[in-house]
Every structure is written in C-alpha cells, then in structure tokens.
Chains A and B, each alone.
Chain A
C-alpha cells in the first residue's frame, strides 16, 4: 500500500470528514476504529498484529502494574515479537513467501515508548480509548512518524476545528505528494537514475548511485511524513516532525537531529540514555544506540555496519569537538570566512552521509565492500 493511490486519498478524506461529523466525545474511539478498519481493509494480518500488540501492552501493564518486572516482561515480549518478525520477514527464512506486516516495526517502537513512559510515571491519566487512539492513529500507520503519547493526548483532548490548521494540513499533503510523485518517483528515480545508469562503471557512477539512493530515500520518506503530518492536521492534531532540512546540517550530530527525528529521538531516550546511565560511557552508549537504530531497519550485517558507521561518525565528531575545537582559532559565524566554513562543514557532512548509503543500497555486506572499492579505487 502506498500513498500514491486513489484508494488512500479517498480513505484519508473519508476519515477526516467522518471524524468531524462524529460527536466530540466519541472521536478517540472513532480514530481507533478507523485505524484498525483501514488497515484490515488493506491487510487483515497487519491489523491483527497491530491489535495484538496494542491489547497486549495495555492489558499487561494494567493487570500487573507498571513496575520494573512487568515492564521488562512487556519489553522482552515486544523485542521477541520484533526479532521473530524480522526473521520470518526474510524471504530466505522459514517463510519463503516473506511475511510483511504493514508498519509493524513502527507499532513496536510506539508500544515500547508507552511501556517505558508508564514505568517512569510520566504519562497523564488516561483510559484505554485514548491509548487505542494513540496506537491505531490512522495518519501514522504506514511509516510513522513515531509520535509520543503525552503530546498526542494533549493535542487529542484540546483539538477543535481550526481553519488555519486545516489549510496548513492541506498544504503539507500537497507538498508531500509533490515530493513523492514529482521529485522522488519522476525526477530522482526516473530521470536522474536513468542518467546515472548510462554512465561508464567507475567511481563517479558509484558515487552518483549513492546520491540517487539518498535523494530518493529522502524525498520519498519526507513526502510520506508530510502527508502523515498534514493528514493529522486535518484531524486537528499536531504530531512530531520527521525531517528538518537534514542535508543542510553542519555536522553528523546535527544531521541525526534533522533526519528521521522521531526515530533518532526514540533511540536517544530508550537506548542511549539508559546505556549511558548504566555504563557511564557516552561513546559506547552512542555506538550502541546507532547500532540499534541500524538493526531496527533490518536484522543484517549491512544495517549493523551502517548504524556503527554513523555511530563512529558522531563519536569522532564529538571527540573532535571536545579535544580540538577549543584549541583551534574560532571561525567567525558571519562574513565570507564564516560562509565558506559553513559550506565546507555541510559538504563534509553530506558526503559522510552519502558514502554511508553505499552500505545500505547494496543487498549485502560483500556488495557494500565492492561498492567502497569502486568508490575509492575505481574498480
């Protein structure tokens, strides 16, 4: 299921229209029902998996309390479900068909967030209807963003129809579709990829393949996120953003605060912070956090390598900042020197990210090694 279908558009606008027609006190239930019903219409197995994760997390925490042990049991069960799913998802695994549950990896992150915040006691008082509306919220079912329960609940309780929010939602949806259809599908994957494919094999072509992969990923994902944020604004709810001009960032730390922000902030809160608190080793915590971020995408060596590549990049940048930044003469923020410095910093960051795509654009790790050999040695 992609957003580029008349079925998706019709479903989205039908949900919006019905949502505002339903009495205000029933809107949370309506969102939950609309979410599960629309998913069931596309793929009943995905709807069943989402319903199971939603019910299990809530009932287990309600029944056994949100103490350390019940939360650990819930987290372990969610992790086991994730690992099993990833195993069965692989076409070479036990299931030759390759099971695919729509958005499953995203529900699990939301469920873990809910369990962790219940444990920390930061969640406002709420009932199962609001929890169900959070987990089954239609705009984020396909690919996120991974929204947070506290902020969502506040928005849900205070929402009302506002013309300004509605028109901004429509604008975001239009911009999202333009990113996916015009830039991602047509310009990058169609025209640009065609030009790259016609080039002679070598370092330049390999590099441009990485650029094409990265641009396509960005425009597709940012477009989907725009549609999700816009769809949510039509429902009167503002949710987390996923991208904030990531390719204009001056260092890799800033990049990860601007690229798939809802996932990187999830990893910061639920992997980096606990590991840093337990080990008192922030660099180790950073590598662990980025490794988790990598294998969340796919349980494979290449995604582990990709996560560690970015983790090592962030650690190297932090070490540089800590040890050398104060010893070097300060670069003026404005003027020609400042602009050149900023341009070079952005160029370096973009190229670090682009070279990282050589790992994920290939089907396996040996392929990635071949890609690096071509990039740096021309063959």
Chain B
C-alpha cells in the first residue's frame, strides 16, 4: 500500500484520501514535468 495513502488515511475517510492521493501524484508529475529541463545540479556521486 502507498505510504502517502496510509498517511492520508490517518486523517481522512477513504474516498477523500484517494482523491488527495491522486491530487498529490498529479501535482508531483506536473512539477517534475515543468522543471525537467532546469539546469541539473552537480551530483558528485555520479563521478565515483
């Protein structure tokens, strides 16, 4: 079971938790898509 869904279920009824989970995923997908081509930061572990 999704960890986010489990956290949401602690404070929301099932239907609302499912809706909030879908909204959370949609928000993340949107933000990742929006910032996908933003200049990547240096990450030295890729050079190990």
Q: Does A188 sit within 8 A of B, measured CB to CB?
A: yes
Contacts of B35 in A (CB 8 A): 181-182, 185-186
> Is the C-beta of B11 less than 8 angstroms from some C-beta in chain A?
no
- Interface range for B: 20 to 34
Say yes or no: A1 contacts B46, CB within 8 Å: yes
Q: Mark B27-42, 1 if CB is under 8 A from A, else 0.
A: 0110110011011111
Q: Which of B4, B32, B39, B40 contacts A182 (CB 8 A)?
A: B32
- The answer to whether A103 touches B36 (Cβ under 8 A) is no
Task: Tell whether A198 is near chain B: CB-to-CB under 8 Å.
Answer: no
Whether the pair A182, B31 counts as a contact (CB closer than 8 A) is yes
Q: Identify the interface centre among A4, A181, A220: most chain B CB within 10 Å of its CB.
A: A181
Given contacts A4-B40, A174-B32, contact A143 B2 (CB under 8 A): no
Contact with B along A76-112 (1 / 0, CB 8 A): 0000000000000100000000001011111000000
CB closest chain-B residue, reference A225: B45
A143, B48: Cβ atoms under 8 Å? Answer: yes
Instruction: Assess whether A2 is in contact with B46, with CB atoms less than 8 Å apart.
Output: yes
Q: Is the CB of A171 within 8 A of B48?
A: no
A181 touches B1 (CB 8 A): no
Answer whether residue A221 sits at the interface, using C-beta atoms and an 8 A cutoff.
Answer: yes
- Selected contact of B25 from candidates A106, A174, A221, CB within 8 Å: A174
Taking a contact as CB atoms under 8 Å apart, the answer to whether A4 and B46 are in contact is no
Q: How far is the CB of A311 from chain B (nearest CB, A)?
A: 20
Nearest-CB distance from A345 to chain B (Å)? 25
Interchain CB contact under 8 A, A221 and B43 = yes
Q: Is the CB of B46 within 8 A of A168?
A: no
Contact with A along B1-15 (1 / 0, CB 8 A): 111100000000000
Total A-B pairs, Cβ < 8 A: 76
Expressed in whole angstroms, the Cα–Cα distance for A189 and B44 within the complex equals 14
Chain A contact residues: helix, strand, loop or mixed: helix
Within 8 A of B (CB), among A171-188: 171, 174-175, 177-178, 181-182, 184-186, 188
Q: B40's contact among A102, A178, A185, A217, by CB below 8 Å, is which?
A: A185
Q: Which residue of A lies closest to B48 (CB)?
A: A105
Interface presence of A142 (CB below 8 A): yes
Contact A189 B41 (CB under 8 A): yes
8 Å CB contact of A178 from B2, B31, B39, B47? B31
Chain B CB within 8 A of A309 CB: no
The distance from the CB of B7 to the nearest CB of chain A, in whole angstroms, is 12
Can you offer 26 A-B residue contacts whose CB atoms are under 8 A?
A1-B46, A2-B43, A2-B46, A4-B40, A102-B46, A106-B48, A143-B45, A171-B3, A171-B4, A174-B25, A174-B28, A175-B28, A177-B28, A178-B31, A181-B36, A182-B28, A184-B43, A185-B38, A185-B39, A185-B40, A185-B41, A190-B41, A217-B43, A220-B41, A220-B45, A224-B43
Instruction: In the A-B complex, list the 4 residue pairs whose CB atoms are closest, starting with the nearest.
Output: A189-B41, A105-B48, A220-B43, A143-B45
